[in-house]
């Protein structure tokens, strides 16, 4: 709604409906001021929900649609999820087609006048990884680079500030505080990778979630599936990855909490058939955080946990 449109609607409602109805103008959209109560945020993934909580603090109530272990590429909103979204003051999602089956429901919510925010879509294209699989699309897994995720935190702080101008200073302060914590975990990961011999700095996982992580922290990344899990890995993918692991004697490969471990188990068997033993180095949290209350149940804990798991597996198993 542009300013002229809003003015016209205001005039019309004063004339025809009286003052009470005028309070409804802009309901659910950004024109409303939420400074007098907490903002109801509905977030798609556990990672986006964590971001909303870190930036919004006690001034937001956050409900996440996807639990731990849920794959966002395949997630479809249930009737209950749609009802939850319809009650939101704002729906926050990652965007860049991460939530590949939710485009229609986002459009429906927008049509109903509910505010939405794709936290990844304010990031300049030049900082995004192009998708080899889908031309013109970008890799959506930006949160696995803590510095890129700072930009998403800024986007959320700006939007919450616009919704509740009375609390803008607090949202900006909380965003900055989270940003400082992101700097710390980023430095931790950059330091940790140095323990791994350069030739062994390879992360083999179920799907290509770790491209940004690899770029940021110095790992080569090999996903069995592409940047989406919508297509299952075939025998050729398993053999391609197994050959690479065996030839380069990569000591460990990893499963992901939101993807079936079958594909990685098949790679392990195929590597064994080539006369080399590779271990499953652990479970990484790529597209979903762990359960609340666990060390990897928050974004900051997750990045540290993934880094420790990767570094330990690639160093401990090395030399065997
Ligand atoms: Zn993914």
- Under the banding of pLDDT at 50, 70 and 90, the label for residue 231 is confident
Distance 178 CA to ligand 1 centre (A): 23
Supply the Cα-derived Rg of the chain in whole angstroms: 22
Q: How far is the C-alpha of 68 from the C-alpha of 157, rounded, in Å?
A: 25
Distance 266 CA to ligand 1 centre (A): 20
> Which structure tokens are listed for 110?
């927008």
Distance 104 CA to ligand 1 centre (A): 19
Distance 102 CA to ligand 1 centre (A): 14
User: According to the model, what pLDDT value does residue 174 have?
Assistant: 98
Distance 18 CA to ligand 1 centre (A): 50
**pLDDT (mean) for 33-41:** 94
Distance 293 CA to ligand 1 centre (A): 23
Given a cut of 60, whether residue 317 has pLDDT beyond it is: no
Given a cut of 60, whether residue 183 has pLDDT beyond it is: yes
Q: If you search the block for the tokens 């149940």, which residue do you land on?
A: 297
Phi, psi (deg, nearest 5) at residue 123: -80, 130
- Looking at per-residue confidence, does 3 or 48 come out higher? 48
Given a cut of 60, whether residue 74 has pLDDT beyond it is: yes
Complete domains list, the chain, with CATH:
25-189 (3.40.50.1980), 190-316 (3.40.50.1980)
Given a cut of 50, whether residue 11 has pLDDT beyond it is: no
Torsion of CA 268, 272, 274, 278, to 10 degrees: 60
pLDDT tens column, 130-169: 876 666 789 999 999 999 999 999 999 999 999 999 999 9
**pLDDT (mean) for 271-298:** 96
Q: Is the pTM of this model over 0.75?
A: yes
User: According to the model, what pLDDT value does residue 24 have?
Assistant: 36
Write the CB contacts of 137 (distance below 8 Å, at least 6 apart in sequence). Answer: 96, 97, 130, 131
Distance 14 CA to ligand 1 centre (A): 49
End-to-end CA distance of the chain: 64
Distance 85 CA to ligand 1 centre (A): 22
Q: What is the mean pLDDT of the chain?
A: 89
Distance 228 CA to ligand 1 centre (A): 5
**pLDDT (mean) for 285-307:** 97
Distance 209 CA to ligand 1 centre (A): 5
Q: List the one residue out of 263, 307, 257, 254 whose CA is nearest residue 286.
A: 257
Any idea what DSSP says for residue 229? Answer: S
Distance 307 CA to ligand 1 centre (A): 18
Given a cut of 80, whether residue 56 has pLDDT beyond it is: yes
Given a cut of 70, whether residue 303 has pLDDT beyond it is: yes
Distance 203 CA to ligand 1 centre (A): 15
Any idea what DSSP says for residue 131? Answer: P
Distance 259 CA to ligand 1 centre (A): 9
- Under the banding of pLDDT at 50, 70 and 90, the label for residue 66 is very high
Distance 163 CA to ligand 1 centre (A): 30
Distance 6 CA to ligand 1 centre (A): 40
User: According to the model, what pLDDT value does residue 136 have?
Assistant: 74
> Which structure tokens are listed for 265?
């188990």
Q: List the one residue out of 211, 183, 210 whose CA is nearest residue 309.
A: 210
**pLDDT (mean) for 87-113:** 97
- Under the banding of pLDDT at 50, 70 and 90, the label for residue 287 is very high
Given a cut of 60, whether residue 8 has pLDDT beyond it is: no
**Whether the Cβ atoms of residue 101 and residue 75 lie closer than 8 Å to each other:** yes
- Looking at per-residue confidence, does 134 or 282 come out higher? 282
- Under the banding of pLDDT at 50, 70 and 90, the label for residue 214 is very high
**pLDDT (mean) for 56-69:** 97
């Amino acid at each position: 709604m542009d300013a002229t449109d809003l003015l016209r609607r205001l005039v019309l409602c004063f004339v025809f409906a009286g003052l009470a109805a005028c309070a409804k103008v802009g309901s659910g959209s950004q024109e409303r001021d939420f400074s007098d109560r907490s903002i109801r945020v509905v977030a798609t993934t556990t990672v986006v929900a964590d971001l909303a909580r870190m930036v919004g603090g006690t001034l937001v109530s956050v409900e996440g649609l996807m639990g731990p272990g849920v794959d966002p590429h395949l997630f479809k909103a249930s009737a209950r999820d749609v009802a939850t979204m319809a009650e939101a003051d704002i729906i926050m999602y990652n965007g860049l087609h991460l939530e590949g089956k939710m485009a229609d429901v986002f459009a429906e919510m927008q049509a109903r006048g509910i505010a939405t925010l794709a936290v990844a879509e304010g990031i300049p294209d030049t900082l995004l990884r192009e998708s080899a699989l889908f031309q013109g699309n970008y890799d959506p897994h930006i949160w696995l680079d803590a510095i890129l995720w700072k930009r998403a935190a800024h986007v959320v702080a700006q939007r919450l500030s616009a919704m509740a101008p009375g609390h803008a200073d607090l949202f900006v302060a909380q965003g900055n505080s989270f940003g400082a914590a992101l700097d710390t975990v980023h430095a931790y990961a950059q330091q940790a990778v140095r323990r791994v011999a350069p030739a062994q700095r390879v992360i083999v996982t179920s799907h290509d979630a770790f491209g940004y992580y690899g770029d940021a922290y110095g790992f080569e990344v090999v996903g069995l599936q592409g940047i989406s899990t919508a297509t299952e890995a075939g025998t050729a993918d398993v053999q391609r990855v197994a050959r690479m692991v065996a030839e380069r004697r990569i000591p460990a490969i990893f499963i992901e909490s939101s993807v079936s471990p079958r594909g990685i188990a098949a790679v392990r068997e195929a590597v064994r058939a080539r006369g080399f033993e590779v271990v499953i180095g652990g479970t990484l949290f790529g597209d979903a955080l762990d359960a609340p209350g666990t060390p990897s149940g928050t974004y900051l804990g997750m990045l540290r946990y993934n880094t420790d798991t990767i570094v330990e597996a690639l160093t401990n198993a090395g030399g065997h």
